[in-house]
Amino acid sequence: MRTLDGRVALVLNVGTWLASAVIALGLALPVGPPLVMTGIALLVALPILRVTLVLIDSLRAKDRRIAAICAAVLLIIAFGIVLSARTHATGG
């Protein structure tokens, strides 16, 4: 079984290659811009996935301090996403 660091490294490595491949495909195809945006979204999602993996691992290990920090980070990210979406939707 992999350690937390090993799992996170694997997810980040595979995710980076996948996102890069999607971006490259988007640049090569005539209908590319949506694919490029999808690849960029995948790249942006990787750090969020990393924090989520650490949160899950810390909950399993009953490390409440790290779990609380990870949960706070995810809440701040979620708040930023919601605020950005609302601001964008209202044209502000």
The residue ranking higher by pLDDT, 6 or 2, is 6
**Domain tally, the chain:** 1
CB atoms within 10 A of CB 58: 19
Tell me what pLDDT residue 1 has: 64
List, for residues 35-92, the tens digit of each pLDDT value: 999 999 999 999 999 999 999 999 999 999 999 999 999 999 999 999 998 888 787 6
pTM of the full structure: 0.82
Q: Can you give the residue range of the structural domain that contains 11?
A: 4-89
CA-to-CA dists, residue 54 to 21, 25, 29, 38, angstroms: 26, 31, 37, 24
List, for residues 3-36, the tens digit of each pLDDT value: 889 989 999 999 999 999 999 999 999 988 999 9
As a whole number of angstroms, the distance between CA 28 and CA 23 comes to 9
As a whole number of angstroms, the distance between CA 27 and CA 13 comes to 21
CB atoms within 10 A of CB 31: 7
